[in-house]
Amino acid sequence: MKPLYLASGSPRRRELLTQIGVPFTAIRADIDETPLDHETPSAYVERLARGKAEAGRRTLTGEEGCVLGADTAVVLEGRILGKPLDQADSQAMLMSLSGRDHEVLTAIALLDGERCESRVVSSRVRFRPITEQEALAYWASGEPRDKAGGYGIQGLGAVFVAGLEGSYSAVVGLPLCETAVLLGHFGIPCWQTLNAR
């Protein structure tokens, strides 16, 4: 079996990949995440997932293996909501999401040096109405600072989520169903090998 490398600094993605029994090594893959002019949100997340996988692959000088890259974007009315710059930005994001539906796009890309396959997974998240005081308290918790869209569904931000259509794990940052299928295309099994170890 080829070794797997996860090109991500996200502890959430590491936890999710561990959850399905896949052995991997986490590596850094820093890339420019600036959206291109006229780039759709779907094209944006797929480009970044591929870019992270490629950047991670370049760090493996002479080593064999597959590299998995991923990226997540929160999208409201066609506009990508990135990580909040400060308290005011976080407040504005949460209030814009308050009482409304938004889309969460997560792309994954897997490459082995010869080929690269990618997928984009779309989920819809519905927020209940949020008060200004709640948004301020949420910022004070520290949780939204490094989260796309300014919230984490796997943490305190779950209290704002009134509904979800799609993949919970994709909203967290790694769509496990699609990731397992993609890994299988490259000969990397998931939980099925746990008893064999």
pTM of the model: 0.93
H helix runs in the chain, sequence order: 11-19, 41-58, 87-97, 132-141, 168-172, 176-185
Q: Which of 97, 20, 108, 15 is nearest to 70 (CA)?
A: 108
Report the alpha-carbon angle 16-176-18, nearest 5. Answer: 30
Cα–Cα distance, 197 to 86 (Å, whole number): 46
Rounded to an integer, what is the distance from CA 191 to the centroid of its chain? 21
Q: What is the pLDDT of residues 24-63, one digit of tens each?
A: 999 999 899 999 999 999 999 999 999 999 999 999 887 7
**What is the tens place of the pLDDT at every residue in 78-89?**
999 999 999 999
Report residue 97 CA to chain centroid gap.
Answer: 19
Write out the chain's pLDDT in tens, 197 residues: 789 999 998 999 999 999 999 999 999 998 999 999 999 999 999 999 999 999 999 998 877 899 999 999 999 999 999 999 999 999 999 999 999 999 999 999 999 988 999 999 999 999 999 999 999 999 999 999 989 999 999 999 999 999 999 999 999 999 999 999 999 999 999 876 655 54
Nearest to 80 by CA among 58, 65, 102: 102
Q: Which two structure tokens, joined as six digits, stand for 7?
A: 């090109």
Q: Residues with catalytic annotation?
A: 71
